[in-house]
Amino acid sequence: GKSGYDHYMLKEIHEQPTAIRKCLRERVSELEGTIDVDALADLEHDGPVQFVACGTSYHAALYGAKLLRERGVPAQCFLASEYEVDAIPAIEETLVVGVTQSGETADTMSALRAANQIGAMTLALTNVVGSSAARECDHVMYIRAGPEIGVAATKTFASQQVALAMLSSVLSGEGSMEFVERLRDLPDQIQKVLDESNARDIADAYEGSDAYFFIGRGYNAPVALEGALKMKEISYEHAEGFAAGELKHGPLALVTDQTPVFAVIAGDTNVSKTLGNVKEVEARGAPVVAVTDSPEQVGQYADHVLEVPSAGPLLTPILANIQLQLVSYWVANRMGRSIDKPRNLAKSVTVE
């Protein structure tokens, strides 16, 4: 059941602290400051990594590829539906990681099969034990989010991000006591976001806008894309997410005083650059909502702030995303949308 929540989506948003605790259990050692994933113990790999995924899982994969590159592992991310359209980009030395909550997405399965065929090593990052992806791949790491009923992926996205953070430590051999402690603290910080969020007020203020834009740089760029995807899928409103720097290369033409811009500046190591983009939209009269752990630095440039605790550059974006999940939920709720089963969408997409 929905445990007293009006929708599965809201219940699953609130299950994120528990989901992340389960994802981390027996994988991070606070004593040693190490990250060890049993399921990956026999994965020996020092070549390039390629991610294949769709939708929300693709946004998690974008984040995972950034983490790996920062830690010195060459990593790329592909939309699964585009992976084999031209020459398959993997070579035998590549580790191809399918990020798929259901483990059944046809495009992702097809990309993984193609990778297996050319002799690359494959890894499934999935929520469903015994799923097609789990069976197809050489290795499997479970994200342990628990069943997700709402069509819109919420807790599985956070669990994918955390699993990818651990995977990047395993593959790069990099991980510090500080990072382990930050991972450990994450569930409580998520709880704090859930307890203190003013997302509902933001939804009240901006429902009925012409469009909703989301911008972010670096680790916040995938969060901007995900914020927009969630908004469009459950509210049916026009929403777009951009890497902040891309705004002036076209999308700025769409910005008016009727298009709120959500600027994700969370754990950001390029605050002044992203603030530059914020000033560009403000000059066009757009209302700005900053999603940030630095309200003292950013707040003066924003009409509203959705605050999150600081969890460092790698993990604060996970907290920012939770604020955006709540904004989408409350906009869709006010509009009376079918939140758990949006029109035209299915939980598991088994056709290409």
Active site residues: 347
Residue 266: count other Cβ atoms within 10 Å of its Cβ: 30
Query: Which one of the spans 87-95, 102-110, 137-145, 289-297 is the region binding ligand F6R (CB under 6 A)?
Result: 102-110
Contact status: 106 vs ligand F6R (CB under 6 A): no
The least CB distance from residue 300 to ligand F6R, in Å, is: 34
The least CB distance from residue 157 to ligand F6R, in Å, is: 8
For residues 59 to 98, the per-residue mask of contacts with ligand F6R, x marking binding by CB under 6 A and - elsewhere, is ----------------------------------------
Closer residue to ligand F6R (CB): 102 or 220 = 102
Closer residue to ligand F6R (CB): 226 or 293 = 226
Q: In sequence order, which residues have a C-beta less than 8 Å from that of residue 213 and are 6 or more positions away?
A: 228, 239, 240, 241, 242, 251, 254, 255, 259, 260, 261, 262, 281, 286
Between helix 16-24 and helix 177-196 the angle, nearest 10°, is: 160
Kindly determine how many residues on this chain lie close enough to bind ligand F6R according to the rule CB under 6 A.
15
Contact status: 55 vs ligand F6R (CB under 6 A): yes
Per CB under 6 A, which of residues 180..219 are in contact with ligand F6R?
none
Residue 200: count other Cβ atoms within 10 Å of its Cβ: 15
The least CB distance from residue 149 to ligand F6R, in Å, is: 12
Q: In sequence order, which residues have a C-beta less than 8 Å from that of residue 225 and are 6 or more positions away?
A: 59, 62, 214, 241
Candidate residues 50, 81, 101, 274; the one interacting with ligand F6R per rule CB under 6 A? 101
Helix (H) or strand (E) holding 229: helix 221-235
Tokens 């909502």 -> residue: 289
The least CB distance from residue 153 to ligand F6R, in Å, is: 4
Burial class of residue 351 in the structure, from the number of CB atoms within 10 Å of its CB (0-12 exposed, 13-18 middle, 19+ buried): exposed
One-letter amino acid of 251: P
Candidate residues 57, 316, 325, 328; the one interacting with ligand F6R per rule CB under 6 A? 57
The CA distances from residue 202 to 110, 261, 330, in Å, are 41, 12, 9
The least CB distance from residue 47 to ligand F6R, in Å, is: 24
Burial class of residue 41 in the structure, from the number of CB atoms within 10 Å of its CB (0-12 exposed, 13-18 middle, 19+ buried): exposed
- Burial annotation 104-115 (CB, 10 A radius, 16+ → b, else e): bbbbbbbbbebb
104 within 8 A of 128, measured Cβ to Cβ: yes
The least CB distance from residue 22 to ligand F6R, in Å, is: 18
Closer residue to ligand F6R (CB): 179 or 212 = 212
Residues paired with residue 125 on neighbouring β-strands, in sequence order: 99, 141
The least CB distance from residue 349 to ligand F6R, in Å, is: 5
Candidate residues 50, 81, 102, 321; the one interacting with ligand F6R per rule CB under 6 A? 102
Candidate residues 16, 50, 56, 292; the one interacting with ligand F6R per rule CB under 6 A? 56
Contact status: 233 vs ligand F6R (CB under 6 A): yes
Helix (H) or strand (E) holding 111: helix 106-117
Per CB under 6 A, which of residues 141..170 are in contact with ligand F6R?
152-153
Contact status: 235 vs ligand F6R (CB under 6 A): no
Contact status: 100 vs ligand F6R (CB under 6 A): yes
The site for ligand F6R (CB under 6 A) is made up of: 54-57, 100-102, 105, 108, 152-153, 229, 233, 348-349
